[in-house]
Amino acid sequence: MVNALESKEQQLAVIEANAEKIAAIASQGYQQLSEKGTVIIFIQLEDNSTVLADWQIKFKPMSQIESIISDWQQVGLGKLINNYNP
């Protein structure tokens, strides 16, 4: 497995700092598409800030996951999504 570019603590700090924004984007995406999905967070490594711009948080419906993340099942994302997004 490839080593993460940031620690789990850094990842959690970004999620916690943007929790309300992430939840709002997820809710809005679900309401617009009427389909369960997930939120994808794009981290900009040059600017290791906990502040995320709108373009860095995207809602993607389940039907599009395979076309966006080619190895999503191999890395365990499929199981994670099924467990936490029934």
The answer to the question of residue 38 being in a domain is yes
Across the chain, mean pLDDT equals 79
| Domain limits for position 35 | 8-61
Residues whose CB is less than 8 angstroms from the CB of residue 15 and which lie 6 or more positions away in sequence, other chains included: 22, 41
**Side chain identity at residue 38, one-letter code:** T
The answer to the question of residue 21 being in a domain is yes
The answer to the question of residue 72 being in a domain is no
Residue 52 pLDDT exceeds 90: no
The answer to the question of residue 41 being in a domain is yes
pLDDT computed for residue 79 by the predictor: 64
The answer to the question of residue 46 being in a domain is yes
The answer to the question of residue 51 being in a domain is yes
| Domains of the chain: total | 1
- Select from 35, 31, 39, 36 the least CA-distant residue to 15: 39
Burial tier of 8 (Cβ tally within 10 Å: 0-12, 13-18, 19+): exposed
pLDDT computed for residue 6 by the predictor: 76
The answer to the question of residue 79 being in a domain is no
pTM higher than the cut 0.85? no
pLDDT computed for residue 64 by the predictor: 81
**Which range among 31-35, 36-40, 63-67 shows the weakest confidence by mean pLDDT?**
63-67
pLDDT above 70 covers a percentage of the chain that reads: 67
Give the integer Cα–Cα distance in Å for 49 and 69.
24
